[in-house]
C-alpha cells in the first residue's frame, strides 16, 4: 500500500477533471488547479501542532476557473497560542492563484460538533457532511493539501509536507499480544504447579 501511495505522490500533477472519481483511488494523487479563493468561508481546523508549537490549519474554499464545483484547499499551518483562534485576515494570499498539492480524503461523519452551536468555522476536524451543510455551494468530497512551491508568498501559511509512509503499529501490536500470551501461559503453568504442589503436600501430611 505504501508503495502504491508513494508512486501517486511522484506522478506528475493532473488537472481536477483528470482525477479519478473514486476518492480512494484519487487519494494522494497530485493535482494542480487554477482558480479563486473564497476567503469569506474559510474553516479553521484546531489543535494542530508543528514541531511542538500549537497552531491550526487553514482550509479555504477554492473555485476552479474551469469547473462549477468548489474544492477545499488546506493552505497550511499557522501558529495559535490556544491552538484554536487566529486572525485569518493576516493570512490571505492573492485571490486568484494556481494551487499544486495532493488529494486527501474527507470523511462524512454526520455527527454533531459542540462548536457548531456557536456558529463558528473553527472545527476539530473536516467533516464532509458538515461542510456540505455549512457552505453555500457544492463541494467536492475531498480536499487538496497545498505543497510549497518555491518562495513562500506573503500571507501564506506554512505549507504541510507529504504524508509520512510507515509500516504502522502492526509490529508493536504483535509483540504486545505475544507478550500477553506468554504471560498468560506462564500464569496458567504456575497456577497448575502450585495446585499440584499443594495436593502433594496434603497427601504427605495425611500419611504422616
| Contacts by 168-174, CB closer than 8 A, 24 or more apart | none
Helical ranges in 117-207 per DSSP H: 128-134, 170-207
Compute how many other C-beta atoms are within 10 angstroms of the C-beta atom of residue 58.
23
Would you state the torsion angle of the CA atoms of residues 14, 16, 19, 25, taken in this order, to the nearest 10 degrees?
Answer: 110
The grid coordinates listed for 3 are: 508503495
3-state secondary structure of 53: strand
The grid coordinates listed for 160 are: 504541510
| pLDDT for the residue numbered 170 | 55
- Whether the pTM exceeds 0.85: the reply is no
| pLDDT for the residue numbered 140 | 94
| pLDDT for the residue numbered 85 | 93
Q: Which residues of the chain have pLDDT under 50?
A: 114-119
| pLDDT for the residue numbered 163 | 78
Task: Round to whole Å and give the CA distance between 145 and 55.
Answer: 17
Q: What is the DSSP letter of 103?
A: E
Amino acid at each position: 500500500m505504501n508503495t502504491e501511495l508513494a508512486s501517486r505522490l511522484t506522478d506528475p500533477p493532473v488537472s481536477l477533471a483528470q482525477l479519478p472519481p473514486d476518492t480512494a483511488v484519487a487519494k494522494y494523487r497530485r493535482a494542480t488547479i487554477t482558480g479563486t479563493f473564497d476567503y469569506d468561508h474559510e474553516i479553521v481546523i484546531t489543535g494542530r501542532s508543528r514541531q511542538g508549537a500549537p497552531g491550526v490549519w487553514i482550509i479555504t474554499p477554492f473555485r476552479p476557473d474551469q469547473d462549477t464545483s468548489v474544492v477545499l484547499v488546506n493552505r497550511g499551518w499557522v501558529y495559535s497560542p490556544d491552538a484554536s483562534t487566529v486572525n485569518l485576515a493576516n493570512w490571505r494570499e492573492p485571490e486568484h492563484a494556481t494551487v499544486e498539492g495532493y488529494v486527501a480524503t474527507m470523511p462524512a461523519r454526520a455527527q454533531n460538533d459542540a462548536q457548531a452551536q456557536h456558529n463558528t468555522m473553527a472545527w476539530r476536524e473536516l467533516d464532509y457532511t458538515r461542510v456540505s451543510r455549512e457552505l453555500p455551494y457544492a463541494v467536492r468530497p475531498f480536499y487538496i493539501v497545498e505543497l510549497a512551491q518555491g518562495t513562500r508568498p506573503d500571507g501564506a501559511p506554512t505549507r504541510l509536507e507529504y504524508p509520512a509512509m510507515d509500516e504502522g503499529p502492526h509490529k508493536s501490536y504483535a509483540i504486545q499480544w505475544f507478550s500477553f500470551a506468554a504471560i498468560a501461559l506462564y500464569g496458567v503453568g504456575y497456577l497448575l504447579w502450585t495446585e499440584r504442589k499443594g495436593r502433594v503436600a496434603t497427601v504427605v501430611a495425611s500419611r504422616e
